[in-house]
Structure 1
Amino acid sequence: MSRLQRVRQNLRRAYDSGRESVRLAREDSRRTEPDTEVDFAPPPPEPDDVHHSTSSRDDAEVPHSLRIAAAWGWRLIVVGLVGWALLRFIGIISVVVIPLAVSLLLSALLAPAVGWLRRWRVPPSLATFLVLICGIAAVAGTLTLVITQFVNGLPQLTEGATAGIRTIQEWAKTGPLHLSDDQVNRAIDNAQSWINSNTASLTSTGIATAATVFEVLTGALLVLFSTFFFLRDGRKIWRFVVRLLPVNARWSLADAGDASWATLGAYVRATVLVAFIDAVGIGIALVILDIPFPFPLAALVFLGAFVPIIGAGISGTVAVLVALVDQGWVIALVVLGAVVLVQQLEGHVLQPLIMGRAVAIHPLAVIVGIASGVVLAGIIGALIAVPLIAVLNTGVRRLTRRRPEVPPTAVVVAGTSM
């Protein structure tokens, strides 16, 4: 045995003897000392999580209802901020957004005519061009007839308005007000001085109106070109947009988009039909009562009826005022009764029968949407609000519906049959 191995053996023996001596000492101390039991109280149990959504035990101390309210609160704040930013962005580019929205409405209205021509093997570009030309010709002919009748009947209306002002002056003198000639003349002078003092503001309004006319012309060109391409390449544009989305969401969003487009087309066609019936009803009443400008006033009612529930009534008040100036208050009351009758017919018969089949929207949602549209974008907002609500209603319902799951056996059968 070498010297190194001997040293290791001696160290091993010393280590074993030391451990043995320590063990014997512990056994001797246990025999000599009395047995004592020490009881340790267990720690209090930690509170369990109230809900699996809590990330720490501090959250468990907060009531469940308060946590749910806080979760809803910050999410609603985020959604509100996103919506506010989106509205601000739309307001900045409203010169582009509004013509595109009008183009979508016109495309939904004219798409069946283009589809009918294409089923007759007419090329897409030619079919779209023919439909647009016919639409522009109809609008131009209507505007020409309206302007011609208005220009021809303007002297008669001016005479009636002058006679009406004289009647009001006589009523102010002989009626319950009992105003003197000096008071009436003073009121006229005050109105004239107000007009003179506000000449600068009226001039700036005219300049703003000229700028608005330029924007309208630019928007009209954008509407024309956008409508042409929507009618010709609308399906291709939608497929391109869908391909930009994630693969798992393409089918659902494509299906929701098709359903929303069908709803928009049904809404526009139903609105045109209801507006036409309103205009014909009020126009017939104006012709029977011999009111000036029956066709222009009926055209105004037709345009106003595109704002549901309140549009035809507001535009019908213009016919009442014309009747008041030209025929007196008795005929004006009769015209008002005709407008109210047409409104009741629209609200209780036409809307449920025609519009109800196309778009199922509660009247409260319609009123709130129109009011919000007027506040945000004026007349254009009132025009677009209801179709936007209808499209969103259909799209959200289609996205949130439960699709039936295909059983595995059906997949196997389908795979074997191919």
Structure 2
Amino acid sequence: MSSDEDEPTQPIFLEEPAPAVGDRALPTPDPENPVDRADVIGEGARSFAAWSGRLLIVVIALGVVGWGLMQLSSAIIPVLLALLVASVLYPVAAGLRRLGVPYGLGAEISLLTGIVVLGGLVSLIAPSVMAQWPTLADQTVRGIRQIQNWAAGPPLNIRDEQLNEYLQQFTSWLQGHSSDLLSFALSVGGNVGSVIVTLVLTIVIVFFMLKDGHKFVGWVRTIVGRRGGFHVTELFTRLWVTLSGYIRTQAIVSLVDAVFIGLGLWLLDVPLAFPIAIL
């Protein structure tokens, strides 16, 4: 008999090498040392528990950061608004610097330019609103009368006496809740005050961003160190370029929308077409 016949026949799955997955080969089954399923399940459970713990830590950290940001919202909101405004005014300040204007003066001119443009838009809207206000008031009165006539007919059939009764009930409700309405009015007044403070802080922060914004990356680089300075510079540069591009794109889209929406409202003879288009 030949030597091939003397050798014991081996299973086919042991004759070929195990396929590779990435840089590791799949484990070859060993009939004499079978894998304990409990070990496999335990290893999977330990891995799942480890990743679950990491995920839980990340969620808790995000919650703590979110809570902290909510507590500091009065300070964060002006900074975010200032970033948006500064990204719009920065090309003006950069152009003035290229002309040799000092940083401080260029920031002042850019900021005043933005305020003048905003004030000009308001001055354009206000006369149009005041001129069309009587027409709008007359249309409102006619609309209320049409609603009354519709309510008096079927299927509601509400008479004038019933409407007067409803108005009296509403007046009584207002008198009974006058203290609550006063508290609401005071809270609104407080919110108006906070809005004014936010606007003032935003203007101040915008000025310093336009004046000393070029020093910010260098200051952060000195804190981070040489090793992370390159990455910090690249990160903030890309963030600023992305934000500026997004704001400019939105401005162009808003301009196109305003032109066509205003044209459509004007053709339809809608009141306050020009102010609505600007807004």
* Per-residue deviation, 1:49: 11
**Aligned ranges 1:121-200 → 2 under 5 Å:** 121-200=100-179
Q: Does 1:88 align with 2:63?
A: no
Which structure has the larger Rg? 1
Partner of 2:9: none
Partner of 2:91: 112
Give the aligned residue type for 2:138: E
Partner of 1:315: none
Q: Provide the C-alpha distance between the structure 2 equivalents of 1:192 and 1:145, rounded to a whole number of angstroms.
A: 39
Give the 3 Å change call, closer, same or farther, for CA 161–194 of structure 1 in structure 2: farther
Q: Does 1:292 align with 2:271?
A: yes
Q: Does 1:277 align with 2:256?
A: yes
Which shifted more, 150-159 or 107-116?
A: 150-159
Percent of paired sites with the same residue: 30
SS of 2:224 mapped into structure 1 = coil
One of 41, 49, 58 as aligned partner of 1:70: 49
SS of 1:244 mapped into structure 2 = helix
Q: Provide the C-alpha distance between the structure 2 equivalents of 1:275 and 1:236, rounded to a whole number of angstroms.
A: 32
CA RMSD of aligned residues (A): 2.6
Give the TM-score, by structure 2 length: 0.80
Partner of 2:233: 254
SS of 1:242 mapped into structure 2 = helix
Q: Deviations over 1:151-189 (max 9, x none)?
A: 333232222212111110110111432223333333333
Q: Which runs of 5+ in 1 are unaligned?
A: 1-45, 51-57, 301-418
Higher relative contact order (Cα pairs below 8 Å, separated by 6+ residues): 2
Give the aligned residue type for 1:166: R
Q: Provide the C-alpha distance between the structure 2 equivalents of 1:137 and 1:125, rounded to a whole number of angstroms.
A: 18
Give the TM-score, by structure 1 length: 0.55
Equivalenced residue count is 248
Partner of 2:6: none
Q: Deviations over 1:341-362 (max 9, x none)?
A: xxxxxxxxxxxxxxxxxxxxxx
Q: Deviations over 1:350-403 (max 9, x none)?
A: xxxxxxxxxxxxxxxxxxxxxxxxxxxxxxxxxxxxxxxxxxxxxxxxxxxxxx
Q: Deviations over 1:92-113 (max 9, x none)?
A: 2211110110000111111112
Q: Provide the C-alpha distance between the structure 1 equivalents of 2:91 and 2:242, rounded to a whole number of angstroms.
A: 13
Q: Provide the C-alpha distance between the structure 2 equivalents of 1:250 and 1:85, rounded to a whole number of angstroms.
A: 27
Give the aligned residue type for 2:68: F
**Aligned ranges 1:5-404 → 2 under 5 Å:** 62-300=41-279
Q: Provide the C-alpha distance between the structure 2 equivalents of 1:129 and 1:194, rounded to a whole number of angstroms.
A: 52
* Per-residue deviation, 1:148: 3.1
Q: Provide the C-alpha distance between the structure 1 equivalents of 2:230 and 2:75, rounded to a whole number of angstroms.
A: 29
SS of 1:122 mapped into structure 2 = coil
Q: Deviations over 1:118-156 (max 9, x none)?
A: 112222222211111111001112123323332333232
Partner of 2:18: none
SS of 2:90 mapped into structure 1 = helix
Q: Please identify runs of 4+ aligned residues in structure 1 that moved more than 6 A.
A: 46-50
Q: Provide the C-alpha distance between the structure 2 equivalents of 1:261 and 1:114, rounded to a whole number of angstroms.
A: 15
Give the aligned residue type for 1:113: V
Give the 3 Å change call, closer, same or farther, for CA 89–49 of structure 1 in structure 2: farther
Q: Provide the C-alpha distance between the structure 2 equivalents of 1:275 and 1:293, rounded to a whole number of angstroms.
A: 18
Give the 3 Å change call, closer, same or farther, for CA 47–195 of structure 1 in structure 2: farther
